[in-house]
Structure formats: structure tokens, C-alpha cells
A and B are shown apart, each in its own frame.
Chain A
């Protein structure tokens, strides 16, 4: 069994999760501060990839980064390489499809964050960067981590948009999901079952991880002191 699809899928999912992690957090942070009307519109636009069929996302992508699309043709003219039908093409597709997952869970976590912690940090003279990384992020850790794991899982399983921009080239663009489809088409059920098994195992692990993150009760570290032993 050639393990290239597993390696390629993990690589694509890791890189696109890395991108959506920062992009999602950035968007979640900044959109919360915008006026209501703008927020509503941007929120719709950013969440759209979650509800659109992946083929529609793939279609738009091909029209943009394809050889005849505005971005695709400019990159070809300027740098001499193509953006579709390569292994990294899938990164564009998976990053767009997984972005809303990261964005929405991070935003939920930030909205639940106690703003007085932010204000008290400011009045104590702490910088915005310090407050964000040392106070806000640690206290929103669970939500942000859950979003990251979900985005990674979705990126691993992405099929529709990926197959449209990368096609299926064994040893070059094949991912686990495109391989399962190809093997089924070829009637190679025994190998398809093996990849299905791999996919099930990864998905199961991811869901267990998300559940553990969501249910984890934040126990106070150490024993709680009695209020009567106040002095």
C-alpha cells in the first residue's frame, strides 16, 4: 500500500489549518469590534463556505486561480508556475472550506470572554499584545483548540473543492478522500476498505479530542481555601 495519500493529506491539512488558525482568530478578533451592520454582512460572507457545496467553492476557485483566471494567469506570467493541478492547490481549497469552522468557534470563545479582564489589563498598563496572548488566549484556549481540531479534521476529509482544483494524480496530488473515490471507480474494493479504515480511525481520534476539549471541566488548581481561614 502506497502511503503517499496519507502523507499528502496530513501535509495539506496541517498547512491549511496553520493558515486558518491565524486568519480565523484575526477575523474573529476584529469583526467583534465592527459596527453591527458591517458585522452582519461580513459574518455572512465569511461563513458562506461552510454552507455552500464544496463544488461551488471549487468552481469559484478554478475561475480565480485556474490557468485562465485572473490570479492564476498573472502568477503564471510573473513567476512561471501554475496554481492548479499541484499538491499545494488543495491548500487553497481546504483553507477556504475550513476557515468558517475556525472563525466561528474562535468568535464564540472570544464573545464569552469576560471583557472586564481586558479592561483591567488596560488600566493596569499592560499592552494590547500582552493582554491578547497572555490573558485572552489562555482563557479562550478550549474554544480555540476545539476550532483548530475541527478545522484540521474537515481539511483531512475535504473532497469536493480539492478534487476540482487538484484532480487525481497518483503520487503527486492524491489525497485519502480522492484515493478512496478512485479505488472505488477502479473496483479495487480491498484497498479502498483499507483507506476507509484509515479515514475512520483519524476521524474518530479527532472527535474524541474535540469532546475531551469541550467537556473538560476547569478544575481549580489545588484545593479551594475555606473563606473562614481568611487570615
Chain B
């Protein structure tokens, strides 16, 4: 089973240029809001017609602009879970699922209904209306209803974003089970790196309508290669790179940067995760092996288990967002530091990630 998508859709001020292939896996489409993730799903489902391109699922052409093929959503066998779940409010849970089962005309629809009820833990809710259900229950019903339509491709549009955080972990487990037992491909749209890391095999980062090359989820978060994927992977510190007298300089941090990985011509930025920045009080001596940046403390913010220290390198504009370095440190590791103090931010060369600005197509 496989899915091939190569489509273009032009809205004038926004252009979607999607290309990817998935084979028996859960593929994440990860991107900031408005980047075209949901639009891609709608094109695959047949709700929105792409300007040109091709969509092939399991050898069946769903859309092909050149051969003038555009199957109706009903014929595509694509299950799409909407962000608001889109249960029919005028029907009970049973009505919602039976509406789909009845259409198949199969004799065993009562048995299929019972097995779906059991599989998705919705026993006891059969006669309730969607408005009576919690977000988690609605989601289970919606997934059961999609499974009733027997899809060959499953697409989930930010399935956890509408839920309270205490329900998330539980539903995450259930989704992992559903996705694991689903025989075909699944597309998982999200802007949340944690969900993607836990639930998906590969990740396709989307930056303003453009698709980057899909990469295994762990690898993407370990070493993002572009600015967009670093941002989405939760990296907090960035500086532009410029080349001056023989070496790369982190322009926004006002230092010559030492990086374990090669910084090439196409490197436009470097990124450093907040966890990997350490803060030393006072001015540190020039260290040969590490990047030591003399800074002034801007703000200290308390999180539950950590303290986030924002500093700005001396000789830079503190209003420039790139010139702020955020360090996330365990609580109690900083004695008596306060705003305005002079400190040194220390970054190991192995923690510096060279990043490209532009996406590279497949």
C-alpha cells in the first residue's frame, strides 16, 4: 500500500507545492498554522481541487490533472478526521456510525457496529448525542465512524489540539494503538513536536506551502537541517551566520562561532537548544574549546521544574529577537542571579546546529 502526492494549488498570495510519498507508515505533516497542512489533506480527500498534479493511493489514481481524473470524495476511500470531529449533531452515536454502515448494505452491519463499539471503547454511549460527549469521547466516536467507512488511507487533522491537556496523554496512547493497527498509510497533521515524535514514523516539514524532504521523526528532532524544521522541533536560539576574515561569525551574538559540524556556503543560520546553553556568573576567561558569550541577564522566568534565563550578548541590540539567548536550567542551579547581571553563556561546539534557510526539494 502506498500514497503518492504531487500537487500545486495557487491562491495568489499563497502557493501550496506539495510532494511526498508514504508507504505503510504514519507520516506527519508538521508546520506552523497557515502553512497548508490542512489544505493538503482536503486536496487528498477531494474537498478542494488542486490546480494540477497527481494523487495516487494504492495504485488508484484519485486525481490527475493531465488525464482529467478527479474522483469524488465518496469514491476515494479516504478517512479524514476533522479538528472538530464533525459528528452529525442531530444523530446519536449509533445513528452517526450506522449512517455509514447502512450505506454499505452489508448484512453484518449490526455485528460490525458492535465490534466498533468495543474496539473504540464507546459502549454505553450509543444513545447519546454528540453534544453530550466529552472531547475524548467525540474523538473516539469520530474515529469509529471513519473506520466504519473502511478507508484505505487515514488522515488526522490536529486530532489532539481541541482537547484539555489531561486528556491528551490518554488519547495519545489510544491514537498510537489505532495508527499501529491501521493497515494502510496514515497522515498526521500537527504543529506539536511531541505528538509527532510519539506517533509518527516520518515527518514532512511544511514551510509556507513548501514541503521539505520527509525524514525519520527521531532524526529530524536530533538534527534539524533547516530553519523551519529547527523552529518546529522546539529549538529556541538562533543567529544569522556571516563570513568575515576567514571564519563564520554568529552575527546576532557578536562572536566567532565554533561548530563541530561543517558550516558551509548554504548555512544561513545556526541554532542551539535552550537545554544546551549553560550560564556562568561573571566574565569567564576565553575558553579554547567552547563558545563563551559575554551577556547581560534580561529576564528570569520560572517554569515548574526549570528556570528560563533570557540573556543578550553584550554589544547587541536587546530588542532584536535573534539576539536573545534562552537557557533552560534546572531549578536551584543558579544562586542569586538577577536581572542586569553580567554572565557568560557557554555553548559546546557539538551542540551548535548549522541550518539552511531554504528548503531543498526531493
Is chain B a partner of chain A in the same complex?
yes
Residues of chain A at the chain B interface (Cβ within 8 Å): 114, 116-117, 119-127, 130, 134-135, 138-139, 220-227, 230-231
B327 within 8 A of A: no
For residue B136, which residues in chain A have a CB less than 8 angstroms away from its CB? 227, 230
Least CB separation from B124: chain A residue: A225
B80 touches A123 (CB 8 A): yes
B74 touches A127 (CB 8 A): yes
B167 touches A119 (CB 8 A): no
7 contacts between A and B (CB under 8 A): A116-B84, A123-B78, A134-B88, A139-B90, A227-B135, A230-B137, A231-B121
B131 within 8 A of A: yes
B132 touches A220 (CB 8 A): yes
B322 within 8 A of A: no
Q: Decide: A122 near B137, CB < 8 A? Known: A117-B88, A138-B90, A220-B129.
A: no
B90 touches A221 (CB 8 A): no
Interface centre among A116, A134, A139, A223 (most CB of B within 10 A): A116
B324 within 8 A of A: no
A116 touches B170 (CB 8 A): no
B164 touches A139 (CB 8 A): no
Least CB separation from B77: chain A residue: A125
Query: Which B50-94 residues sit within 8 Å CB-CB of chain A?
Result: 72-74, 76-80, 82, 84, 86, 88-91
Alpha-carbon distance A119/B84, docked complex (angstroms) = 12
Across the interface, B82 reaches (CB within 8 A) one of A116, A130, A139, namely A116
Alpha-carbon distance A88/B73, docked complex (angstroms) = 45
Please report the number of residue pairs spanning A and B whose Cβ atoms sit closer than 8 angstroms.
94
Across the interface, A221 reaches (CB within 8 A) one of B47, B80, B88, B129, namely B129
Alpha-carbon distance A135/B355, docked complex (angstroms) = 49
A220 touches B131 (CB 8 A): yes
For residue A222, which residues in chain B have a CB less than 8 angstroms away from its CB? 128-129, 132
A120 touches B86 (CB 8 A): yes
B149 within 8 A of A: yes
A225 touches B146 (CB 8 A): no
B132 touches A225 (CB 8 A): yes
Q: Decide: A122 near B46, CB < 8 A? Known: A227-B134, A230-B136.
A: yes
For residue A221, which residues in chain B have a CB less than 8 angstroms away from its CB? 129, 131-132
B145 within 8 A of A: yes
Alpha-carbon distance A121/B133, docked complex (angstroms) = 20
Residues of chain B at the chain A interface (Cβ within 8 Å): 42, 45-47, 72-74, 76-80, 82, 84, 86, 88-91, 99-100, 103, 121, 125, 128-129, 131-137, 145-146, 148-149, 164, 167, 170
* B150 → A minimal CB distance (Å): 9
B129 touches A123 (CB 8 A): no
Least CB separation from A231: chain B residue: B121
* B258 → A minimal CB distance (Å): 51
For residue A223, which residues in chain B have a CB less than 8 angstroms away from its CB? 132
A119 touches B86 (CB 8 A): yes
A230 touches B170 (CB 8 A): yes
For residue A126, which residues in chain B have a CB less than 8 angstroms away from its CB? 74, 99-100, 103
Alpha-carbon distance A225/B140, docked complex (angstroms) = 15
* B180 → A minimal CB distance (Å): 20
Alpha-carbon distance A146/B72, docked complex (angstroms) = 34
B73 touches A123 (CB 8 A): yes
Alpha-carbon distance A121/B134, docked complex (angstroms) = 21
For residue A127, which residues in chain B have a CB less than 8 angstroms away from its CB? 74, 103
Least CB separation from B125: chain A residue: A225
* A111 → B minimal CB distance (Å): 17
Alpha-carbon distance A220/B128, docked complex (angstroms) = 9
A119 touches B80 (CB 8 A): yes
Alpha-carbon distance A138/B80, docked complex (angstroms) = 23
Alpha-carbon distance A130/B91, docked complex (angstroms) = 13
The 10 closest A-B pairs by CB, nearest first: A227-B134, A120-B86, A122-B73, A220-B131, A138-B90, A116-B86, A124-B149, A123-B80, A125-B74, A119-B47
Given contacts A225-B134, A225-B137, A230-B137, 10 further A-B contacts (CB under 8 A): A123-B74, A123-B80, A124-B79, A125-B74, A126-B103, A130-B103, A220-B131, A221-B129, A222-B132, A227-B167
Alpha-carbon distance A22/B326, docked complex (angstroms) = 64
For residue A224, which residues in chain B have a CB less than 8 angstroms away from its CB? 131-132
For residue A230, which residues in chain B have a CB less than 8 angstroms away from its CB? 134, 136-137, 167, 170
Across the interface, A120 reaches (CB within 8 A) one of B46, B82, B128, B134, namely B82
Least CB separation from A135: chain B residue: B88
Alpha-carbon distance A29/B129, docked complex (angstroms) = 27
Across the interface, A122 reaches (CB within 8 A) one of B74, B132, B148, B167, namely B74
B100 touches A122 (CB 8 A): no
A123 touches B76 (CB 8 A): yes
Alpha-carbon distance A134/B89, docked complex (angstroms) = 11
For residue A125, which residues in chain B have a CB less than 8 angstroms away from its CB? 74, 77, 100, 103, 149
Alpha-carbon distance A122/B145, docked complex (angstroms) = 13
Interface centre among A120, A123, A127, A231 (most CB of B within 10 A): A123
Q: Decide: A119 near B82, CB < 8 A? Known: A124-B146, A231-B121.
A: yes
